Structure 1
Amino acid sequence: MTIFLYLGGFLCALLIILWGCSVFTNAIEWLGKRTSTTESAVGSIFAALGTTLPETAIPVSAFFLTTGAYKTDVGMGAILGAPFTESTLILPILAILLLVLSRYGRRPPTFKLNVLAVRTDLRCFLLAFSLGIACAFLPYRWLHLMGALFLIGLYVYYVIKKLSGQSGGELDPIPLIFARKTKLPSYGIILLQGVVGVTTLILGSQLFVYVADNLASTLEVSPLLLTLFIAPLATELPELANSVLWVRHRKDTLAISIITGAMVFQGTVPVAIGLVGTDWNLDAQALTPMVLALLAMAVCYFHLKWYGHWRPWLLSGSAIFYFGFIFSL
């Protein structure tokens, strides 16, 4: 009975987090529309930021806002699980979808991408995650803090580069959730909705950390593995749904950039939070998904650099890393 209560708590926490994410993302989209930010920039930065908030809020709550015997492992699982899931499960799903659609004549069998934009995303992610792995072997607190500052600076550079180099059409978001009948909501109501969204995310993430901590203790399982697999599978669903829709409509750059843009954020800001909030002493269980994600994205980067496109079979092959890691546990 206790386990069912914890599972119900998990579900409630994830629903709260996802609702807060949707409210915040909707506010961000309207802020982009009011400030005349292009659709492309909002898609690769703001939308990606919105989809990464759940797995970012969880480690923040775990490291700084909650107490518990397993809070560090819960936070680390959320940090490492998102890029691992993106690179070895979400991208392969999109590749398989592309192969299926091309098999039935619905679209060409290759991704049509903005190669330079995707390569920029992958370069930033590879640099950031390589630094995160390197810091695990450097037991010096000051180096971890310097690494965290570098990662934050890298993401700021990435955002500036994207905003200065993006072009595209205007945003056409759904009506603002807090003002559905208003055609052009004010900055005040947009800000209010954004604050409510972030607050909801924090509350939901605190509940998630509490439940994960107690469930891990009850089941006597590793909370790192619990959040490494469970949290990303739930929090990446909206992102996957958007990407699937865009692949079906041949909007490959949008479908891929929301994922690669999210991975840049996941490889910088949450890792920086981990470097500051923990001693970043990673064992083999934590390092393995990091190395696998890095390897999967390195293959994608060099294939794109050398051949100028992605073959679906290449992306789908990354799923071997995901399921191989699961079966090895």
Structure 2
Amino acid sequence: MADVAAVAGVSGQTVSRVVNGSPRVDPGTRARVEAAMTQLGYRPHRAARALRTGRTQTIGLLVSTLATVGNSRMLQAVADAAAARGYALTVVTLGAHPDVGAAFERLSEQGVDGVVVLNEATAAASETPAPAGLGLVVVDAPPGAGSDRRFGIVQSDHAAGARAATEHLLSLGHRTVHHVTGPAGSFAASERENGWRAALAAAGVDAPPTMPGDWTAASGHAAAARLLEQPGMTAVFAANDQTALGVVRGLADAGLRIPGDVSVVGFDDIADAADYRPPLTTVGQDFDRLGEVAVATLIAGIEDGEAGFVLVPTALRVRESTAPRPA
């Protein structure tokens, strides 16, 4: 490391930060150090470094399920971001009967330096103390959910995205917007419902009854049958794209045209959303950015003991599933 520092013209501490994937190195310096490492054939020895520093360069990912598209996208994003910083990744899923304390202990026993907790697992994680010395970042939890200074929070701006989706439908002349929710207990689903309600309230429109969903296309298809019972229903905001897909199918099965009779908006902008029939108007989450920020925030907490809060913007993507209210 001293040889690398000499060639790169930096301090040994800077080389250490680059090797450990610290975000506290500017891109030009990082490139210089990495070039010196390549020139000298320097390769960190993970086991030796763990003995010296007490850190394994491994982070954990705790998730309730990988069956949803959003969680799978986040897994990929976190894995890519961790690899880019020289960290390995260990994944634990909670399943139907979550025991977050046991999951934390399992990850701690495997020697991870910190844990990223995803979405539906965050509520339970917020109430369960992590083992001493284990850094923690949760993706989608209320600000202030964790009192520990190592507890960082990263969020998509779900409420703003849902509000934009609802405002888009109202701007097309729809008198109200119906909502198929995500699962109860999900922070993301709650925030999306809050954004929908806020947009309707700002427009002076009473919120119609919500239809329950659980992120799946099947729940959207089931909700479509109940939506058909709502008088004057011409616009639907679904809590995610898979739910929207089920809504579209259910309405089409009843002989309605999308968007000729009913406009539908989803949330997430999954890879297939633009290939739905019709292509789906949706709110895009930047999963790559969420993964990068979650890993960077976790590493900063591990190295500096400082928690962080980061809100990642969402963006409305208008496609062919929305149109002006039918006459």
- TM-score, normalising length: structure 2: 0.27
Which is strand-richer, 1 or 2?
A: 2
- TM-score, normalising length: structure 1: 0.27
Which is helix-richer, 1 or 2?
A: 1
Larger RCO (alpha carbons 8 Å, 6+ apart): 1
Larger radius of gyration: 2
